[in-house]
Amino acid sequence: MPQPDGQGTLLVFSGNANPSLAAAVARELGTGLAAITVSTFRDGETQVVVHSNVGGRDVFVVQPTSPPVNQSLVELLLMLDACHRAGAERCTAVVPYYGYSRQEKRTTPQEPISAKLVANLLTVAGADQIVTMDLTVGAIEGFFDLPLTHLQAVPVLAKAFAGVDPDEVAIVAPDLGAVKRAEAFQQAVAPRAPVAVVFKERPQPDEVAVADMVGNVRGRRAIIVDDIISTGATLLAAAETVMQRGASGVAACATHGVFAPGAIAALEASDLERVVVTDTISVAPHGRLEVVSVAPLFAEVLARIHGERVRQPVAAAVTG
């Protein structure tokens, strides 16, 4: 079914990846989702039909490239192409979760640089600029020849842990790549709390082995801070390690809850008391799993972009 038309010169479109987030962003902007049909032909090809008049309009296409990743990506590309060809004045790709970001470099000469290829595809599809959140590797920003706004989820996640006693908690980075994020979380939540770092090894893809840990968590409640929970292997290994090192309890937060099959069940069976993720990817709260919304932050950024103020800092949550 076509979605209700948006109002004014700003139009917000959504594909099938996370329409609830897109609708929440639109509500924050004081409008509704613009009318579009994103469906599938019988042979599996994606069909996109734009029903709203996009001619001369400022268009925002909200679509994380979350599982099923390939389907979500193709929907995003076709929506951008359709809006661009229909005469939109400007098309902004709002990609809360940027898939294929984990292959941002080659470890062997036979591998692709997937993150760069996806950046190229978004450009060719008609995107004039990109808005995303917590890229796995910040260097991916350099893959775009378009203006890019890179948001951080730490201020949103920090609110879920507001009021913790800095003398009773420790902030934990589950690997070296998460250190900067863990330090930002520490400053937002408990500036006096120690920061510990887990050093991991990957014997093979989606498998994790802990090599060592630096920092003191003994007698403290550990809060593990990461960007993505996919299989949960990194998070579970870190949780087990901090408990072995004497933590009195352990919780976790992450920006993107990918949750590969079996991941949520594994988290529920672990020592983790609570796991907080944002709604960049559509996921329902369940048991120990809590979901906080990034819709207000994205809406604030889109409003500034629409008002030609994209280069201004937004709520201390934009990098650069």
Other CB atoms within 10 A of residue 109 CB: 5
Is there a catalytic annotation at residue 105?
no
Residue tagged active-site, from 105, 116, 159, 200? 200
Identify whether 296 is preceded by a cis peptide bond (ω within 30 of 0).
no
- Please answer whether residues 23 and 1 qualify as being in contact, where contact means their C-beta atoms are separated by less than 8 angstroms: no
First-to-final CA distance of the chain: 40
CA nearest 170: which of 154, 186, 194? 194
How many angstroms separate the CA atoms of 151 and 294, rounded?
10
Q: How, if at all, do strands 209-214 and 195-201 pair?
A: antiparallel
Chain-centroid distance of CA 154 in Å reads 11
Mark residue 125 as left, alpha or beta (left: phi above 0; alpha: psi -120 to 50; beta: remaining). Answer: alpha
Complete DSSP assignment for 164-187: --TTTEEEEESSGGGHHHHHHHHH
Residue 8 falls in which region: left (phi positive, over 0), alpha (psi -120 to 50) or beta: left
Contact (CB, 8 A) for 188 and 158: yes
* Contact yes or no for 12/282 (Cβ under 8 A): no
For the packed helices 19-28 and 295-306, what is the interaxial angle rounded to 10 degrees?
60
Helix, coil or strand: residue 222: strand
**Secondary structure (3-state) at 216:** coil
Task: Give the residue numbers marked as catalytic.
Answer: 200
